[in-house]
Structure 1
Amino acid sequence: MRLQSLVNKKRYIAIFLFSLFVILLTLFRGDNVYLSDNGDFERVMRLSSLYKSGSGEILINLNGQSLFSSLLKILFGFKGFLTYPSSQVILVRLGVAVNVLSNVIFHKAPETFNIYILGFLFGVLYALALSFTLGQIGFKSKLLSVLFCFFSVVLFCDIAYISYFNSLYGEGIQQILFVFLLGFILMLFNKGFKKSHACIFFVILILYGTVKPFNMPAAVIYGIIYAVTVFVKYPVRKNRIITAAAFALSVVLLLLSVAVIPGWIKKETNYNSVFFGILRNCSDAEAKEYLKSMELDDSLFVLKDTHSYVSDAGEIRQLYDLSEVDNISYTKLLSFYIFHPLKTLKTVKRILKFCGMLQNQFFLNCDYMRDYFRMNIWSRIREKSGFDLAFINALVIIAFFVVITRLLCSYYNKKRHAVLVSGLLLITVLYAFFSPYVANGEADLSKHMFLYMGYIDVMLLWLLYTAFSKKGLLKKVSVLALLLVLIFYIKGNIYSSPETVSFGRYKGRDLNWTVIDETEDYKTLILSTSVCTQAYSENADNCYEDSWIRNWLNGDFLSEFTEDERMCLSEIRHKVLYSKSQKENAAEGNRDFYCCLYPELAYEGTAEAYGSYVTDTVVLPSVSHIKTMAALNYKIADSGKYWLETCYFNNKEKVRYVNTDGFIYFENADKELGIRPVIHLKK
């Protein structure tokens, strides 16, 4: 027994050290990983004694009479806590306190805040969570156990998971707590009930449920599963009393946390739910119909496809009466989708587009994030494996629940208990899929689908475990599901073969073009690879109409063609978009053009966006061209990044570009990226 205990301890320590090594290497090797901030940062900063200096640097607010009193205020100050009642604040405050002590030890300015200290703290906690959970999963073969742990760490220490640690977003803490909860549930199944374990489980459950209001229903379900297992498998009266009391207290605290959610959160999310969710990408007539069905003023249809996270949200509230929207209930929002099945099917298709890319869009401004040494192997595989398709998601979910229900039947000995627990788990997964869109529309949806994508990854790991540890039906189901996912990964890297045209020369090199569209008069061609790298604008201005790159395309580049070749080109009349900061130049449009990373959806909103029409012979590709290429299953990515003509929203400096992964990001206009010209070739 002692020998087995020693082996287990060594196993936990080995997994912890390996996980921590991978985490620290990924976060801190070379240029440190950092996520760009948004409103989430500001809310957490206010409650964690942090503030931004005039230069944008985050500093610690030491407003106590002494260092000790400042630490007490940082850790236990309650002022303003109810404006954002999240357990995330507790852990961030701990990180701030560690920063203060670090400044004393290393003789730094007392107000210095190093977010990487917070990242290190979260990294240690995550390594503990992974070692605790993975240490309870093993095979008879030591080699298989080692390989499974290695694969699990590579997956869950991918940069897409741990980049949140160097930030003030709640997803990082959410992931740590989720892995701990999973570990305690496995421990209950494997080793039985212990009072201390139950108490720790429910404390973590409360923290998990209060990181974000969205987590509360899932936390309650995890609590029910834990309680059901104790009542069925360990029916000692004392065990039941402890579990029931801990569960009841947890539910009360979770409900209280929901009750004190500030009104501004509900206003923002309701606005997004209606105008950037229900009314997303629908016609004016449909928008009016949907508003009437929810007993809302149908004149508000003009706000469709807008969300509350933009700078003009305050202006909108001054122009329109949104009181009915502010007070709409989650139940009413959910019932809309229940009674509009066709809209729901379209919504599911849109949600799925956000389920393939695990990487967070807020570090898209960091070039080095795409390096292999950043441990992004899994997120790269995931992007190409069909996880944005209904079939793959349904396959993984069905296979997992076939496997888990069979296992639970043998564990509980009674089918009804197994079906109950499986059903609760299924509700949790479906809730994680639908609720972000129902509750907040498409606003920040790629970030809000993080939990659901984590569930899918856990299911895949469990299918992998079952494939190598079980026999019979369970093994067959798991192997089949994994093989189909692999097939879709291979298929996801196979593109349609487009028509190509050789036309013109540049610097003595033949130019090969890809046909992406065709009319009666001309073919639309995009250069098959970048002709060179140049800055979009030398003065970092994102206005295409006045840009250096536009002049170069229709000047130096076009001059490389012969006169006969130039006669074969048709002029292109196209809409140039403007950011809100330059809307005074626009001839039409009434809103900014929001950001979307996904090529298939990136075009939406151009009709209403600020813009003017100009005529050129050569242009940069626009989001419209990229959407066309995606629809034809043509390869969008190039060996390097390349510019689009489309500016980013709400600023004067950034322009959208296509990254090497085929997604659309943004960069400062004075950076040098690739150029893939677009022309109209007469027939």
Structure 2
Amino acid sequence: MKSWIRLEWLVVIAAVVVLLPLLFLSPIGIANNGDFYRIMLAGGIDFADTGESYHDKYFGYFHAAYHYGPFSVGSYISSQIVVVFAAGMIGRLMNAEQFDIRILAFLYSLLYITALYVLVKYNKERSVLFNTALIFSMSLIFLDIGYIAYFNSFFGEAVTLIFMLLTFGFALALTRVDKPSIWMQTAFFLSAVCLIGTKLQNAPIGILLLLLGLRFWKLRADQAWRRAIVAWSTILLLTTVTMYAAAPSELKHINLYQTVFFGILKDSPDPAADLKELGLPEEFKVNAGTNFFQPDTIIKQNDPRILEALSSISHKDVLLYYTKHPSRFVQKLKRASENGMSIRPLYLGSYEKSAGKPYGEVSYTYSGWSAYKLKHMPNNLGFMAVFAAVYLVILGMEYVRRRRLVRQKLFLETLLVLALVGMFGFAVPVLGDGEADMGKHLFLFNVCFDMMAVTGLLYVVWRMSKLLSRKS
């Protein structure tokens, strides 16, 4: 008996039912922590009330209404700029006096629903049990307010989430059809370019996605397919390199300061020795444990001495330091794991001031998954290591069993890359920004963890459905 509606449209309906009230009717978002402005400028968007107090503008209240201003991309490069620019242009057509951030949320929602549609369409099975688990897990986890609240903000996490799901949705789709099309290959690579182009932190995963894309060479033998693979792989590589090369010098300085002073030197038993090993003056030890934005440092963060000293090192030196001192790196990973189950920054308010909620009030509407993770999942390195180990062992067993089937091998390799991206998403913030705002910087890791959790659940259900079908 055929279903009256295709399964992939059920997740679309579920998404509309959840997104409509939360993002558009009684909008919930995330307050500005000071990071919005450089992205707002790309869309020619400015604050609605230039005289608004610092207290009301930052941290406590989400803002839906903005005004327009001059366009200025500046030196900050991000794929998010494209979406924000489009939202700004649409906003001008709808209302030339005021920009409503829900226009941006609408564009994000369209892309996100597409990602959910692709993931369900190309991963559903003939098992009712499996398909029920697929729809339930996707709706519970990826429609959680912890994720979708980012859509009503100018944070780059919204773009990371969307293109992470799109990239792996199309990657899995390529392995699930008999003869994948050029448009599907293009969609995978374009999504991957947008994902690594979101922010500098995502750039390292460009190499992983490049290797995965090259593996799709085997899916078709015709010249058109393989020429497209080469062309898109080149674009993906150039994007990865560009993200590093074009990063503003100011941003590089901030990241290095955080990595050294709020990373290596934070809780160090001998800051002077660490500075000496990094080739930095020992006099900087008085700033050990400080972050770039705090006002009470003994030596100012932009002091010419610090600027000159940090310009002589790079994150390669930081990586080399942790290679020589693995116990210190593990210490930092343990610190990161304490923040590893938080999807959104709970110190930022969810409501507009006009809603009458207390300053900094956070919405927990449709937050079952994010609340469960935060309150009940172990937030320690041991749990995360065991989770990853079980995932990889099962993946390896299945890979050995299916090693003669090209498409199934590539399907499993895609799931392997997912795990590796998660590992990068866990380690890179430590290497690139020390212990600064770890809850927010571990967002990519959270997305990967949740995708792996869904994969694990579906694997168990798939094995159960196979067992039940044999018994019947």
- State the TM-score, normalized to the length of structure 1: 0.60
Question: Residue 274 of structure 1: CA displacement?
Answer: 0.5
Selected match of 1:102 from 94, 97, 102: 94
Match of 1:12 among 8, 31, 36: 8
Name the SS for the 1:363 alignment partner: coil
Match of 1:333 among 318, 321, 334: 318
Report the aligned-residue RMSD: 2.9
Query: Which residue is equivalent to 2:77?
Result: 85
Match of 2:31 in 1: 36
2:49 paired with 1:48:
no
Q: Which amino acid aligns with 1:270?
A: L
Relative to structure 2, which stretch is displaced further, 153-162 or 137-146? 137-146
Change over 3 Å in CA distance of 1:111–1:327 after alignment to 2 = farther
Q: Is the Cα–Cα contact under 8 Å of residues 41 and 73 in structure 2 kept in the other structure?
A: no
User: Residues of 1 paired with 2:157 and 2:328: CA distance?
Assistant: 29
Displacement over 6 Å in runs of 4+? 417-423
What residue number does 1:256 align with? 242
The answer for the alignment partner of 1:139 in structure 2 is 125
Contact 2:214–2:233, Cα closer than 8 Å, also in 1: yes
State how 1:180-259 maps to structure 2 within 5 Å. 180-191=166-177, 192-228=179-215, 230-259=216-245
Deviations 1:120-175 (A, max 9, x none): 32123212211221222223332541342122111111111111111111000110
Give the secondary structure class of the aligned counterpart of 2:426: helix
1:452 aligned partner = 445
Give the distance between the partners of 2:155 and 2:389, measured in 1 at CA: 32
Paired letter, 1:413: R
Q: Identity over aligned residues, as a percent? A: 22
Residue ranges of structure 1 left out of the alignment (5+ in a row):
64-73, 75-79, 104-109, 476-683
Inter-CA distance 423–149: structure 2 relative to 1 (3 Å threshold) = closer
Deviates more, 1:398-407 or 1:452-461: 398-407
Q: Is 1:122 matched up with 2:129?
A: no
Which residue pairs with 2:424 in the alignment?
431
* Higher strand fraction (1 or 2): 1
Please say if 1:346 is aligned against 2:331: yes
Residue pair 2:262, 2:289 contacting (<8 A) in 1 also: yes
Corresponding residue to 2:143 among 154, 157, 181: 157
**Residue aligned with 2:155, SS:** coil
Report the Cα offset of residue 305 of structure 1: 1.6
- Asked which structure has the greater RCO (Cα within 8 Å, sep 6+), the reply is 2
Aligned match of 1:174 in 160, 169, 185?
160
Q: Aligned pair in 2 of structure 1 residues 422, 462: CA closer, same or farther (>3 Å)? A: closer
After superposition, residues 395-414 of structure 1 pair within 5 angstroms as 395-413=386-404
Matched with 2:55 is: none
Is the 1:181–1:201 contact (alpha carbons within 8 Å) kept by the matching residues of 2? yes
1:43–1:84 contact (8 Å) kept in structure 2 = yes
Question: Pairwise mapping of residues 377-388 of structure 1 onto structure 2 (< 5 A)?
Answer: 377-388=368-379
How far apart in 1 are the matches of 2:295 and 2:114? 41
2-side partners of 1:221 and 1:265: how far apart? 24
Residues 98-132 of structure 1: CA deviation (Å, up to 9, x unaligned): 221221xxxxxx23121122123212321221122
Find the counterpart in structure 2 of residue 297 from structure 1.
Answer: 281
Deviation string, structure 1 residues 67-125 (Cα, Å, up to 9, x no partner): xxxxxxx6xxxxx535101111110111112221221xxxxxx2312112212321232
Q: 1:203 to 1:9 in 2, by over 3 A?
A: farther
Give per-residue Cα distances to partners, 1:550-572, cap 9 Å, x unaligned: xxxxxxxxxxxxxxxxxxxxxxx
Q: Is the 8 A contact 1:36 1:362 kept in 2?
A: no
Aligned to 2:57: none
Could you say if the C-alpha distance between residues 219 and 316 of structure 1 is closer, same or farther in structure 2, counting changes exceeding 3 Å? closer
- 2: CA distance between counterparts of 1:127 and 1:413? 35
SS in 2 for 1:155: helix
**SS state of the match for residue 46, structure 2?**
strand
Q: Once the 2 structures are TM-superposed, how far is the Cα of residue 385 of structure 1 from its aligned partner?
A: 3.0
SS class of match (1:322) = helix
What amino acid does structure 2 have at the position aligned with 1:157?
Answer: L
TM-score computed with the length of structure 2 as normaliser: 0.85
Give the alignment partner of residue 393 of structure 1, picking from 378, 384, 387.
Answer: 384
Instruction: Quote how far apart the aligned CAs of 1:28 are.
Output: 4.2
The 8 Å contact of residues 337 and 381 in structure 2, kept in 1 or not, is answered as yes
Query: 2:89 and 2:186 mapped to 1: Cα distance?
Result: 26
Tell me how far 1:24 sits from its aligned partner: 2.4
Give ranges in structure 2 of 5+ residues lacking alignment.
53-62, 352-356, 468-472
Aligned to 2:434: 441
Q: Aligned partners of 2:31 and 2:334: how far apart in 1?
A: 28
Structure 2 Cα separation of the partners of residues 206 and 428 of structure 1 = 15
